Amino acid sequence: MNTIKSYPTSAKLLHWASALMIISMLFLGVSMIQSLATWQVTALALHQSFGVLVLVLVVIRLLNKLRFESPSLPADLARAQQIVAQGSHVLLYLGMIAMPLSGWLMQNANGVMVTAFGWFTLPTLIPADIQYYALFRELHGLIAWLLFGLILLHITGALYHGLVRRDHVLSSMTFNSHKDK
């Protein structure tokens, strides 16, 4: 078991920036499908741009993760809880990658090119096809709900560790006054 009690600042910054963007994107996505308001075109452009940014951040997070050793889970944590924690982290990363990729494919299948803040346009991965559009639209929605559920599980686990167990798990990802190790 390692003695590291906290994630490095780089991991914390990437975690919290990703979390805020992803949660905002989930709510923006839900609002976009519930409305035909004039702001929907602007919302879609922002949704696409931030989706590209989320994908880039997740790749950076994964590369950053290779640079350090993560803090261990508490030694007295039940094996089933350790498996759920590790499995949910893997699923969160898969969801964070699958979500923007499915959106990108959905837009391509709709004949729409994905741009990021007007700075650049992503390459077209698949040709326009209504059947693929329908498939990736459904997949994008399904992944959104799964990601939302995983985020709730993640938050619940963090609060359990912070408020009930009062161990180092939650504090390892917060910006507290203790020096990062």
User: 176 falls in which pLDDT band (50, 70, 90)?
Assistant: confident
Helix (H) or strand (E) holding 116: strand 115-116
Q: What does the pLDDT read at residue 181?
A: 42
User: 115 falls in which pLDDT band (50, 70, 90)?
Assistant: very high
Reported pTM? 0.90
pLDDT at 96 over 80: yes
Between residues 65 and 36, which one has the greater pLDDT?
A: 65
With b for 16 or more beta-carbon neighbours within 10 A and e for fewer, the 44-57 pattern comes to eebbbbbbbbbbeb
Q: What does the pLDDT read at residue 1?
A: 60
Q: What does the pLDDT read at residue 35?
A: 65
Mean pLDDT value across residues 168-177: 88
Q: How far apart, in whole angstroms, are the C-alpha atoms of residue 96 and residue 91?
A: 8
Mean pLDDT value across residues 43-56: 93
pLDDT at 60 over 50: yes
Mean pLDDT value across residues 55-83: 95
Maximum separation of any 2 CA atoms in the chain, in Å:
55
End-to-end CA distance of the chain: give it in Å, rounded.
15
Share of the chain above pLDDT 90, in %: 83
Task: Compute the mean pLDDT over every residue in the chain, rounded to the nearest whole number.
Answer: 92
Contact 132, 109 (CB under 8 A): yes
Between residues 40 and 145, which one has the greater pLDDT?
A: 145
Polymer length of the chain: 181
